[in-house]
Structure 1
Amino acid sequence: MDYAEARAAFFAPREGETQPLGWTTPARRLRDAIEPIATVCFWSEPSYDAAAARGLDFLSGYVWGRSSVLGEPEGAVAAAAFGVFAPGLVADLYDAGRAACSLTDVRAARVEGVTAALTQAVGDPAGTEGLAETTAALEAAGDAASPLGRPFFAGWGAQPVPDEPWARLWRATSRLRELRGDSHLAALVGEGVDGIQANVLTELWVGWDLLSYTGSRAWDPELMASAVAGLEQRGLVADGALTDAGRELRDRLEAETDRAVQPVIDALGDDLDAHVERLERWSSAVIERGWFPPDPYKRAAG
C-alpha cells in the first residue's frame, strides 16, 4: 500500500451517524490533544517518503516503525503488543519490514520524517512559543508513570532523546500515547475482553455499525462472529448494539484507562490546560495540513 492508497482507505469521510461521547476528563483531553502529533509518523507524507526511501510501504512502515521501540522481538511478540489487530497480519508486516530495513534505519527514518512533517505543518521550532516548555513537561510527566506491564511505553522510555525540537516533542507525545494504549490493553485483559471484542465494544460505543471498525483490523470473519457471540452470551451486546451492561463495561474500561495515566495528569498539575491548549493548536495545524484523518472518531480507540 502506497501513500495515495492509504489516504483513500483511511481518510475517507465516515458514513452514518455517531454520537457525542463527552470526552472531558483531563486524561482524555490530553490524549486527544497529542494524537495528531504522535501519529504524524504514520499519517504524514514526509514520514511515508522517509520510510519508502528505505524500502517500506505504508503498512510495513507502520508496523515495523511502531514496533521499533521494542527492539527486534519475534513477530508474535509485536503482534501481542499491538493487541487489537489480527496477529497474523501484524507478524507478517513486521517480518517484511525487518527484511526491508534495519532497526537503525527505521528509527532514523521516523525522526527524519516527523521533523520534516512538523516543521512544514506547524513551523520553525525556534519560533514556536512554548515548545521547549511543553516538551519538557510531557517528558517529566512520562517519567512519573510506571513502565510495569507496558511494553511500548517502556520501549519509548529507552529511546534516546532527539536533538531536533519537533522530534523531541514527538517522542514525548508518542511515549504518553503508548502509555495509554498499553494501559487500555491491560484493562481489557482484566475484564476478560479479547482483541476482537475490544474493537466491537468501541465501534458500538461510538455508534458505528457492528464490525465496521473491527473488520478493518484484518480479523477472520469466523473469528469476528465468534467474538460477537461471546459478547452476546455475556449480555453485553444484543441486536447489533450495546446493552446497558455493555455500555457500562465500555465506560468502565475508559475510566480504568484514565486512572492508569493519572500520574501523568498529576505531574502536569495546574499547567495541564496551558499545555493542552498548545498541543491542540499544533495538532490542528497537522490536521489542516492533511496529515491526520479529519474524522474525530479516529481518536476513539482507547
Structure 2
Amino acid sequence: MTHPPEKVRRLFELIEPIATVSFSADVDRAFREVGMRGFWDGYFAGRAAPLGLAPAAVVHAAFYNFADGEVARHLPWVWTRISPEDAIALRERASATALRDRLGAVAEDAGLRRVADLATRAALSAPTEGRVLYAGLRAIAVPEEPVARLWHATTLLREHRGDGHIAALVAHGIGGLEGHALLAASVGLTLENFGRTHHLPESELAAVAAGLRRRGLLDGAGAMTDAGRATKQRIEDLTDTLATAPYLALSAEELDELIAGLEPVFAAAHEQVPLDA
C-alpha cells in the first residue's frame, strides 16, 4: 500500500506550523530565561539536544543548510548553560504551552487526542536508518498529554521529512546554501535578501550563486533557469516520496481522518506561526 503524493504533501503543509511553534517567540523567551543569548542559541540547544553532546561539526552535517562556522558560534557554548536533557524538557514544555495558547478552544476538542494518536502512530513507525535527527527524536519519551503529544509527533514527522530532503539534495549535488539559493530564486529573491542567508558575507553568497550559474541552474540575473526549476521539482518530488514511509502505518481511511483532523489545528496554529519560521 502507498498513499497519493498530494496527500503526503498536504500533510507536510499541515504539520509545519504545528511543529515550528518551537521556533516562536514564546519558546525563544523560555530559552533566554535559562541563559541563552539570543534566538539561535535556543534554536540549536532545542533542536540539537536529541543528539546529545555532539560536536558542532556533527550538528553542522546533520542540519546541512547552515554556513560554515554558524553552528560553532552556539555549540558547545549552549551546553555551559543547559544540558541536552534539560533542553529537551524545556523545549517540549514551552512548545506545548505555546501551541495550546494558539489553539484556544481547539486544544480542548475531544477529537484532538485521536488526531494526536494517529500522528504519533505514523511518527513512530518509520525506519530510522539514515535519518539522524529523526532517530534522535525517536529516543525521547512520547508525551501523554494530547497537545504535547501532537507537537511531538509533528516534530518527528518534520525531522523525518527533513532528513529525507537532505538525502534528496545530496543525491542531486545541491549543497545546503545552494538549496537556499534555489528556494530564494523560486520566489523571486536572491541570497542577499533571503531571510536565512542575507547576513552572510557577500563573497560567500556570490560564490554560491556563481556555482549554480556554472551548472546552468541560475541565470546571470540570479533567476532560476528551466534546468533549475526542473532540478528543484525533482528534489521536491523525491522528498515527498521519501516522506511517505511514516504514513504507511495508516490505512487510506485513517490518513484522510488525520488530514481532516489536522485542518482546524493548522488553521489555528498558522495564524501566528509562519510556514518558514
TM, length-normalised to structure 1: 0.82
What does residue range 119-134 of structure 1 map to in structure 2 within 5 Å? 119-123=100-104, 127-134=108-115
Structure 2: gaps of 5 or more residues: none
What does residue range 35-46 of structure 1 map to in structure 2 within 5 Å? 35-45=16-26
Q: Secondary structure at the match of 1:72?
A: coil
Q: Secondary structure at the match of 2:193?
A: coil
How many Å separate the matches in 1 of 2:25 and 2:268? Answer: 12
1:125 offset after TM fit, Å? 7.8
Q: Secondary structure at the match of 1:122?
A: helix
1:218 offset after TM fit, Å? 4.6
Structure 1 pair 238–212 and aligned structure 2 pair: CA distance change class (3 A): same
Q: What is the CA deviation profile of residues 70-112 of structure 1, one whole-angstrom value per residue up to 9, with x for unaligned ones?
A: 1110011111111111131122112232122112221121122
1:52 offset after TM fit, Å? 2.0
What's the counterpart of residue 31 of structure 2?
51
Q: What is the CA deviation profile of residues 40-93 of structure 1, one whole-angstrom value per residue up to 9, with x for unaligned ones?
A: 121142x22321221123210011111011111001111111111113112211
1:102 to 63, 68, 83: 83
What does residue range 180-259 of structure 1 map to in structure 2 within 5 Å? 180-213=161-194, 216=197, 218-239=199-220, 240-259=222-241
Amino acid paired to 2:112: L
RMSD: 2.1
TM, length-normalised to structure 2: 0.89
1:234 offset after TM fit, Å? 1.1
Q: Aligned pairs, how many?
A: 270
1:267 to 249, 255, 260: 249
How many Å separate the matches in 2 of 1:113 and 1:262? Answer: 29
What's the counterpart of residue 67 of structure 1?
48
How many Å separate the matches in 2 of 1:272 and 1:211? Answer: 40
- On the 8 A contact 1:85/1:217 being kept in 2, the answer is no
1:126 offset after TM fit, Å? 7.3
2:260 to 277, 287, 302: 277
Structure 1 pair 233–126 and aligned structure 2 pair: CA distance change class (3 A): closer
What's the counterpart of residue 150 of structure 2?
169
1:287 offset after TM fit, Å? 3.2
How many Å separate the matches in 1 of 2:248 and 2:143? Answer: 26
Structure 1: gaps of 5 or more residues: 1-23
